[in-house]
Amino acid sequence: MNLEIRSPQTDAEWNNYYDLRYRILRKPLGQPMSTVKTEEDDTATHFALYEDKQLRAITRLDLKENSGAQVRFVAVDTELQGKGFGKKLMLGIEEYCKQHKIQKIELQARENAVDFYLSLDYKLIAKTNLLFGLVQHYLMTKELK
């Protein structure tokens, strides 16, 4: 098994990246494909986890002020959830952050993902927004050493 974490490079890889984001994070909420991209996508750092060249998980990292970053749009293919791909992706992002002197990561976890992030030593800070009036989110943070 050959695992690789990197940004998508070809048009086909980008299409697969946004398709996974849509299928996991927007389609189940009845949202149109137009909600899958944001203006910040152009300036963010994108990560895709490939297993033997097959896309398994994705996320985006937005740099913030004061040596921090926000993880957004974490998605693992439905059939592959619980198999460690999300954990490998998050650990890869943490390593990237350490290499780039980013000291703190924050994220808005969906209610069903809070335990996953707690298992990776993120701290639960506060209940925050209700996405599309359907999905409760929680602010979580992790200080990197």
Between the CA of residue 23 and those of 62, 73, 79, 126, 142, what are the distances in Å? 22, 12, 12, 27, 28
For residue 9, the domain's CATH number is: 3.40.630.30
125 lies in some domain: no
Q: Closest by alpha carbon to 70, among 61, 59, 58? A: 61
pLDDT in tens, 18-28: 999 999 989 98
pLDDT in tens, 110-126: 888 899 999 999 999 99
CB 56 within 8 A of CB 76: yes
Which residue segment(s) compose the domain that 35 sits in?
3-103
Percent residues over pLDDT 70 in the chain: 99
